Amino acid sequence: MAPAVYRLILILFALLCGCHLFAQTVADPVDSLKSQLDANTILASIFSGKSNKPAAPDQPLQSRTYWSVLPSAAYNPSVGFAAGVISSGGKYFGDPANTTLSVINAGFYISTGGLSTFEFKQNAFSAQNKWNLQGTVQIGKTVAMDNGLGTGRRSFGEGSFFMNDTHFENNPDAFPIRYVYIKANERVYRKLANSIYVGAGLSFNYYSHIDDDRKDIPISQTHNYRYSIRNGFPISSYQANGLLFNFQLNTRDQPNRAFRGIYADIVFRSNQTWLGSNRDAMQVKLEFRKYWSLSKTNPEHVFAIWHWSNYLISGALPYLELPGTGSDAYGRIGRAFIIGRFKGMSFVYNEAEYRFPLTSNKLLSGVAFINAETANNQQRIKLFSHWEPGGGAGLRLLFNKYTRSNLCIDYGRGTYGSSGFFLGLNEVF
């Protein structure tokens, strides 16, 4: 590995050791919601003159609904600074002893560049977790620097090629790409056995007004244009709509911020032209998360790992639908890089993170993380031949202690001088 990567690993190790020692000095020996303080309680106290107390002790947990709404600011190197509103809710639809907390998260942002996004996500469990409903809806207008496909170079074009007797030289440059998107993904799971589920669903992704603001860049030079004409897609808009078939193992104690357990998901996705897709395609997506709580008295001390990969088996995907940095459901893959920085026909990502409390009331906590990603292209870059590492640290502000929602701010650094702050709602994974 390059010397910079070794330095990154040493810095991360020092962060882990130092933060662990600091967290031990302030840890609360009793894990109790009554002793915890969150932002929702603070704001309620400021505006109402009294604390936002939980429901009466004799009220059963399954009858309570936890809901918080807060103004919020966000930052991502892809879109800059944004302001908006976020909300988080939670409710048990069964006995908490055998039913996972159902959660809803929603947010709306407008950025300084005139960009906007609306997101709605739910993860609901029926009594005894017999049924699980997972879904996301995202609508927005965004812009990003597009570096082409594959990993291993600062920017890599599609190579030289002929199309309809026209010769296209390689274009190893980054170009701004602006587009509007609508994404809807809904999956229903049925419990087969303890923590094992099978399911099915639908996914509809629509992209339009692509490269609408390319200014003085000839459209024939952009990565989207060249990839699209080479693979038989329209230039300015396209769709990727498909059927989903899932197999899942889920032993997490909570979906927003797990302290322990495993989440494993295998998804077979089949894009179909009869559903509106421009081309048929078959993909397999694998996801694995494992959480270890390192303390019985302070379960917030957590070491977690995340594997996310997406493989194209047959057919072709629209350019903006290719898996890559930030292409997970929550857009959090690849802290240290902008959304879409690396992408390919297939993509693999690994991350490890250590989480720890900073204050005894659990209002503030911290994380340290390291990750790596690899992608291929249609030329000579192969999957697993080049890995792009990143790493960093961050702070957490407890948003709602009953749903374990938190506000996140991370600073990450990666290869080719990439760095930036990343703000969001709830843990990255």
Question: Average pLDDT in the 280-307 region?
Answer: 95
Q: How many domains does the chain have?
A: 1
For residue 34, what pLDDT band results from cuts at 50, 70 and 90?
confident
Structure token pair of residue 347:
């993509």
**DSSP string for residues in 382-399:** PTTS--EEEEEEEEEEEE
Indicate the range of 129-133, 306-310, 346-350 predicted with least confidence.
Answer: 129-133
For residue 63, what pLDDT band results from cuts at 50, 70 and 90?
low
Is the model's pTM score more than 0.75? yes
| 242 φψ region: left (φ > 0), alpha (ψ -120 to 50), beta (else) | beta
What secondary structure letter does DSSP report for 148?
B
Q: What is the CATH number of the domain that holds 331?
A: 2.40.160.50
Structure token pair of residue 197:
């589920």
For residues 137 and 71, give the distance between their C-alpha atoms in angstroms, rounded to a whole number.
20
Residues 6+ apart with CB under 8 A from 6: none
Under 8 Å between Cβ of 291 and 307: no
Check whether 67 has a pLDDT greater than 80: no
One-letter amino acid for residue 346 of the chain = S
For residues 301 and 292, give the distance between their C-alpha atoms in angstroms, rounded to a whole number.
8
One-letter amino acid for residue 364 of the chain = L
Check whether 62 has a pLDDT greater than 70: no
Under 8 Å between Cβ of 282 and 273: no
Residue % of the chain over a pLDDT of 90: 46
For residues 91 and 130, give the distance between their C-alpha atoms in angstroms, rounded to a whole number.
16
What secondary structure letter does DSSP report for 324?
B
Under 8 Å between Cβ of 233 and 278: yes
Please tell me which residue, 66 or 124, carries the higher pLDDT value: 124
For residues 405 and 103, give the distance between their C-alpha atoms in angstroms, rounded to a whole number.
9
Q: What pLDDT sits at residue 14?
A: 40
Indicate the range of 22-31, 134-143, 411-420 predicted with least confidence.
Answer: 22-31
One-letter amino acid for residue 4 of the chain = A
For residues 356 and 50, give the distance between their C-alpha atoms in angstroms, rounded to a whole number.
29
Check whether 248 has a pLDDT greater than 90: yes
Residue ranges making up the domain that contains 188: 3-425
